[in-house]
Amino acid sequence: MTESSIQSKKLQWKWVGITFVMYLLFYLLPLILVDFFSAKTAFVLIGCWIFGGIIIVAAVAGYLSEGVTIWEPAIAGAGLVLILFITLAMYFHIHSRPGITLFGEIAGILVPAIIVFLLSLFGAWLGERAQQLWKTKPPEVL
């Protein structure tokens, strides 16, 4: 068995981190900046980007990475959702919004995390497929 086939079966935590940063910069930042548009335009952009952005960022991560990285963008996407919900729960707790607890909102955390995980998985698969089709591989030296 070659080294590349062994490496492709291990989870590459480096790409989990890189994809997480990509989600912060290229997924969340546009959602924050959409505030500068009119309400109708912002509504359409947010609606499209909430689903499409996850797939696009995961596909780009899958395409740019070396080896097969399908699980890494999915883990990073689910982690992003969990961190966002924890941040929101802490914000609501600090600002004295009664009745909102982190453990009371488990379904509200898990359902979006699963959806983002699956969309990221699909996007990463698309990126890996594009990598197979479009990237040229250097000739092997014997």
Encode pLDDT of 47-102 as tens digits.
899 899 999 999 999 999 988 899 999 999 999 988 888 887 777 667 666 665 55
Classify residue 84: in a domain, yes or no: yes
Q: Provide the number of structural domains found in the chain.
A: 1
In a domain, 3, yes or no: no
Number of other residues whose CB lies within 10 A of the CB of residue 69: 26
Within 10 A of 70 (CB to CB), how many other CB atoms are there? 19
Which structure tokens are listed for 87?
A: 């941040």
| Domain interval for residue 32 | 12-130
Q: Are 58 and 119 spatial neighbours (Cβ–Cβ below 8 Å)?
A: yes
The pTM of the whole model exceeds 0.85: no
Task: Note whether residue 108 is domain-resident.
Answer: yes
Handedness of CA 138, 22, 107, 49 (dihedral sign): negative
Residue 135 lies in a domain: no
In a domain, 107, yes or no: yes
Q: What is the DSSP letter of 25?
A: I
In a domain, 46, yes or no: yes
Give the Cα separation of 36 and 77 in Å (integer): 25
Identity at 23, one-letter amino acid code = Y
Task: Decide if 7 is inside a domain.
Answer: no
Q: Mean of the pLDDT values across residues 129-134?
A: 91
Instruction: Identify whether 6 is part of a domain.
Output: no
